[in-house]
Each structure stands twice: as structure tokens, then as C-alpha cells.
Chain A
């Protein structure tokens, strides 16, 4: 029966299972209310139908205050519970674990491109290891898309000009559907892919087998010189620019007095719109690379900057 009429898609991560428990809670609340409502409607409609002269219609409820207050408060309490429950799970989803394995996703009409830090590339497939938290850093080359893995119960829009992130931790090996969930043109419904979850050793072997142009960070290092970034962003340069060693993940004081964390989004914005967030103590001299740098190059450079840790090169 389940194969012929699909009724349920199993969740494959702990987050997915938590979402399913939430669903059960929502369903139970809904069914309780609907059952009560349909029962009352049916009972009143039948018992108090005009043809039933015998029904007792004396002592109609006049003062409605207590009833109104009761059902209003009960509704609000139930809603508050559901709100908190959903909010906590949501906050959990947006709290990305720091040691997650990053994979870069670029969406374009009508395909998904994935880049691993080792430089391995995929089209419409993302290979990930079991039991490790995976973090996706996603951006679009053109219109808004949305990265949706039903089995993991996660979805996030993928925007042009911005990096967005989600995370998940797969719990068993298998292949799961990837859909685009934001209408993006002619072949929106064909923009499907596969999430291929493999055991850790199989994943390592798979990574090793792929052709790469060097690791993502190594590619980024080449581009760093090619675009002239090293002309200012090295010690002893003629123009004074922030040094980038160990920058990733640090708090950066800005010229307007606020503090900003140097995450992927900050690094991208610094390259594309350098005047929007100027580091404190520096002149707004950096030119914008918007329109001159592709998504793929941007990802590589960001990966390179991330690798400039104080303790040496780490992806």
C-alpha cells in the first residue's frame, strides 16, 4: 500500500525527526479542534433544526463574557505552545555548528553546482558523508532559487548577490531528492538533484577519485594574485589594507562603531560592495569587484581567505 499510494516520507536526520514530532503535535491540535467543531455543528444542526419543535430552546445563553474569555484564552495558550515549539526548532536550525564540513553551492537556471573544499566539483549531485555535520554555503548566479531536501526537512532560498547557509547531519547512507523550491523559470520543475550520502570511508575515496584543479583554497590563492588583491592586502604594501591572516571568524570593528563577524557573507560583501562596511581605521579605497568576478571565483577566493588561519593552512 505504501508503495502504491505514498503516504509518508521518512525523515533522515535528527532535525527531520524533530520536525515530524512537531507535525504530530500540530495534527493532534488540529484534529482535536476539528472534531469538537464538527461534533458541535452536527449536533446543533440536527437537534435544533426548525422541524424539531420539541427541543428545549429556553434559557438561551445571554451573558457571553465567560465563554468568550475562556475560548479566547485557551486558543492563545495553545498557539503560544505551538509558537515556542516551532521557534525553538527553527533557532536550532539557524545555529550552524562551527566544525561543520563546508560545501559551496551555486544555483543557476536550471542546475545546481557543488564545490567541495578539496576542489571537487559536482553538477546536480552533492556527495556528503554520514554522521558529519555538513554546512552549505549557497548563492545564485541569476534569479532566486531554493535548496530543498525533503528527507532532511530543510529548505532555504538561494539568492543572487548573497551567501545563505543551511546545515544538516545525515544519519544513514542513501540517495535523497534535491528540489528547487522557488519558481525560477521554464525548467524550474526539472531543476532536480540527488543528495548522495555515503559512509565516511567511501566518501573519502570518492573525494580522492575526482579530478580537481587543486583545492578550492589553492585555486583561490591564484585568483587572489590574479585580481590584484595581494597588491594591497599584504604586509608592506604601498596601500594600507586590512591583513587577512586569521581574519575569518573574528569580530571586526567597523568605521561606524559597530562590530561585525567576518563570516562568508562579510567576505563576499567586502569584495562586491567594499564601501558598505568599512573596517575601522582604514580609508574607503577598495574598488568593487561586482560584475568582474564570477560566483565560482568568488567562492574560491573566500575559501582561500578562510584558509589563512593563524595556525597555518586549514580548509
Chain B
């Protein structure tokens, strides 16, 4: 064990944190900010679920309710889900996994955090001065010509944060291409890096289209240029095409890193190489590519042509295939493994179940005639929450627990962690499964008041949400506790393969004493279950 101080203690001045170029510190900065936004978005969700316990609009007015669900969507999508795994776990782990001292462009990394912060504060300010009521999807002409809310401010915040996304993606692409340690060929890369690479490609190609779309909305509203005004020949469908061209790949930005984490967890806690490594690796690329060709499945009833509907439906079924391949391969990895049920593994297993459930309901939506019935209903709401919360947030928590010893140098309390994982699983299902039923019963989404016959399912859902809220607070408490009182972590507490485990917990600022070189295939757990050091 070297005597060098860890990256956490190397310099304690405030400006060494706010002017850092160390990827590990940038990751911590991001972690603090997205946790804040998670709770802001969660607060909005609390108001929503409280209001929906009764059919009447008796807690808040319709205008306030509409601002609540808009804020929930905007904050959760752009200020929590999109950056979460890439900017926290990714920023921390990528150079370590690759055997490098830092990312390719450390100062751009810091800039991306500042852009994220400025964007986030701008949007929070918009919320503070009255919020927006357009839905996170900003459909025109409502957002450009009819809404009486702070659309330009909110849209500006998202626009700025978009550049943060682009810079992160750019950094990852160049890092993974150019900074790999000697011997670390593409097929020796951990699957987390394949997933982050695919994510980075989407970040870099899709986000600019969102930037342009939001810029046009802001100009339309601010200066009245009329680009989406139907009276001047502006096409409301054109906005939807431009918006969803980004926003569909965006959901793959959100889920691919989670899938990458799950690959790491399943392998480590089964002590087996991932089954079908190349298939899992390339399936990430396939999802990224195919994900650009399905956006119209959000518009099957919008008035787009029938031909477009057919093409987008077909492609939507195709893009589900690589996800299915991953699920099968993860399951096959468990076969003849040595399975341990530490908290990260509980999250990984929960991910497989919940993501598959959400993904299968995606087939209902890809199916043209059924989508006509359930689009814009609670069925869609349930579907994407299963994927985003049941999938993505679960994977995030799994990765957080897995790399927590590396990041903080402390072990978290295992039994509290398992209890929280199980409580999250139950709270989650209780919250969102009733929403599938509501959708099939025909209840539309974004409804402040609703018909009394739907109430029983809403009460069930709100009850589940209260359990989920408590369950999400638990990690905040015990992880916080572990920072001060947790057992000190060794370099490799899980006995995992991977270069990040070959350096102390927490790592020194420069990551590695000497640049490691790689000679073995990834996930090289021997038959007896012992990991080999990668650079032995």
C-alpha cells in the first residue's frame, strides 16, 4: 500500500475541488448535484401522488399540478437520468478501468460539470419563479403560443445542460479510443466500457438535435418568429419529429449505462465471465444504432403517415432484439456460477426482472393497433417508469454500492443495504404495476382530476410511492453514515477482475503507480472462483 494521499485528501482547499481536473473529483461534484436534483424531482412526484389519491383536484390547482408533472419530467430526465451513471460512475471508473491517469480532456470534464450546474440552476430558477406547464415534451403550439409559463427560461436551462452531455460523450469516445492501457484491446474491455461507448455516441449525435429544437422553441416564444405557428404554415408535427429524434435515443442514453453496470455485477457476483461477451458488447452498439430509427413510435396517432407508422413499428420491434439478447446472456451467466447475494447483486437481479417487464410492455406499445389504445394513457407512464426507475435507477444504485468502496474507501453496512434493496423492489412494483391496469382501463395521462372509478388503483399506487420514498431515503442515510463510520475498504473487496480494483481504495490522484498492462481476457475468474490480477 503506497503512502500517497488518496484523491479525497490530497488537497483540502475549496478551490482544489471547484477547480479540479481530477476525473474522480468531478465525479463527486456530479454526484452531489444529481442527488440534489433527484430529490427535487422526487418532491414533485410526492405532490403528484398525494394529489392523485383522490379523484378531485383538492390538494393543488390544475395549474400547479400541471407544473408539478412537468417539473418532475424535466428534472428527472435531464438533470438526473441522463447524467447519472455516465457523469458519476462513468467519470470515476472509466480512466481506472482503462488504466489511464485521467480522461482525455480533463478541463472539458470540469467545464461539463459547470455547464450542468448552470443549466440546472437556470431550470430551478424557472421553477422557483412559477414553473412551466407544458409537460417535459414541450409540444407546440401549446408551448410556443399558448402556455403562460416560463418556457424560455426552462428550455434555456435544458439547452445549457445539453452541452454538458455532449462534452461528456466526446470525452468518453476519445478516452476509450486513445487512452487504453497497453494490451487492453477492444475485446478485453469490460462491458461497462462498451455500454458507455455506445452511450457516448448517442450523446454526441442526438443531443445537438435537441439543442436546435429547444432553441427554435425559445425563439418562437421569445421573438415570435413563428416557425411552429400553424397559421403561417408551421407544422406541429415537425416539432414532434425533431423532438423525438433526440428523445428516443435519449432513453437509450439512460438505459445503456445501466446495462453496462449490470454486466459487471452479474459477472462479479457469479464469479464467471459474462456468457456471450461479444454478443453483449455488440448488442450495445446495435441498440445505439437502431435506436435512432424508431422515434416515430411516439407518434402513431399524431397524424403522421400510415407508412411511417409501419416503418417505425417494425424498427421498434427490431431494436428490442439486442436488449433481449442481453437479458438471455445475463441469465446464462448465472448458470453454473458461484452466486453471492450482496446488495449490488440484489440490484442487478432486480434490474433483470424489472427491465424485462418494462421492455416487454414496450412491445405492446410498438404494436401499432394496441398503441392506438394505450398511448397517452397510464400504460405508457407505467412502461417508462419500469424501465427508467425499475431499470436505470436500480442499476445506478447497484453500481453505486459496487464501486462505493473504491470511491470512498469505506464499506457500507451490508444488511441495511440489502433491506433497502428489497424495500425498493416492493415499493416500486406497488407504485407502478397498478398504473398498467389504469392504462388498460383507459385512463389518460397528465390528468389532474379523474373519474372516481379509477381511484382504487391510484390509492394503491400512491401507497406504494410512500414505501418507495422511504426506501430511497435509506441509502442516503446509511451511505452517509458509512462515510464516517464504515469499515475501511481494501483495494478489492469483491475479489473482482478489472483494473480499477488493482489500485487502492480510494485511489491516489494519479490512479496507478505504474501504467498497468493487460494480458488476460476480461472477467477471467478461474474455475475455482479466484480472480487473477489483471497485470500479474
Contacts and interface: CB of A to CB of B under 8 A. Distances in A.
Contacts of A58: 336
B333 to A, nearest CB: 9
Interface string B344-385: 000001001100110011011011111111011100000000
Contacts of B451: 177, 192
A98 interface: no
Nearest to B375: A155
A310 interface: no
A61 interface: yes
Contacts of B437: 7
B367 A160 contact: no
A41 B353 contact: yes
Contacts of B183: none
Interface stretch (A28-36, A211-219, A222-230, A252-260): A28-36
Contact of B317 (A26, A82, A177): A82
Interface residues of B, number: 89
Which of B279, B317, B341 has the most CB atoms of chain A within a 10 A radius of its CB?
A: B317
Interface string A19-54: 100110010011001100110110011001110000
B373 A50 contact: no
A146 interface: yes
Nearest to B315: A83
Contacts of B310: 87, 90
B303 A157 contact: yes
Contacts of A6: 441, 453-454, 456-457
B440 A86 contact: no
Nearest to A64: B276
Contacts of A48: 270, 334-339
Which of A18, A50, A154, A276 has the most CB atoms of chain B within a 10 A radius of its CB?
A: A50
B324 A71 contact: yes
Q: Give the interface SS of chain A, mostly helix, strand, loop or mixed.
A: mixed
Interface stretch (B134-142, B202-210, B399-407, B466-474): B134-142
Which of B135, B230, B441 has the most CB atoms of chain A within a 10 A radius of its CB?
A: B230
Contact of B353 (A37, A155, A192): A37
A44 B331 contact: yes
Interface string B438-459: 0011101111111101101100
B14 interface: no
A83 B373 contact: no
B242 to A, nearest CB: 15
Interface string A185-218: 1111110100000000000000000000000000
B129 interface: no
A4 to B, nearest CB: 7
B275 interface: yes
Given A90-B372, A157-B302, A44 B313 contact: no
B453 to A, nearest CB: 5
B325 interface: yes
A50 B313 contact: no
Given A68-B276, A146-B376, A177-B451, A156 B357 contact: no
B142 A22 contact: no
Given A89-B368, A154-B372, A41 B334 contact: yes
A52 B440 CA distance: 43
A81 to B, nearest CB: 10
A94 B276 contact: no
Contacts of B233: 273, 276
A157 B299 CA distance: 9
Contacts of B373: 19, 150, 153-155
B121 to A, nearest CB: 27
A34 B358 CA distance: 11
A238 interface: no
B275 A83 contact: no
B35 interface: no
Contacts of B357: 34
Contacts of B527: 57
Contacts of A187: 62
A182 B364 contact: no
A87 B312 CA distance: 11
Interface in B286-322: 300-303, 306, 309-310, 313-314, 317-318, 320-321
A164 interface: yes
A153 B440 CA distance: 10
B139 A183 contact: yes
A189 B306 contact: no
Given A48-B336, A290-B231, A159 B301 contact: no
B321 A75 contact: yes
A157 B301 contact: yes
Nearest to B529: A50
B349 A41 contact: yes
A161 B364 CA distance: 31
Contacts of B139: 143-144, 182-183
Contacts of A182: 139, 376
Interface string B141-166: 11001110000000000000000000
A153 B301 CA distance: 12
Contact of A26 (B134, B367, B375): B367
B413 interface: no
B11 interface: no
Contacts of B366: 82-83, 86
Given A29-B363, A89-B368, A177 B442 contact: yes
A37 B331 contact: yes
Contacts of A237: none
A43 B301 CA distance: 42
Nearest to B323: A75
B108 to A, nearest CB: 37
Given A143-B142, A160-B141, 4 more contacts: A19-B373, A71-B325, A181-B375, A189-B447
29 contacts: A9-B440, A19-B373, A22-B369, A23-B364, A29-B360, A30-B363, A37-B331, A37-B353, A44-B337, A45-B349, A48-B334, A64-B276, A64-B332, A68-B328, A75-B325, A79-B320, A82-B317, A85-B367, A87-B313, A90-B369, A143-B142, A150-B442, A154-B372, A155-B376, A162-B230, A181-B376, A182-B376, A183-B142, A186-B63
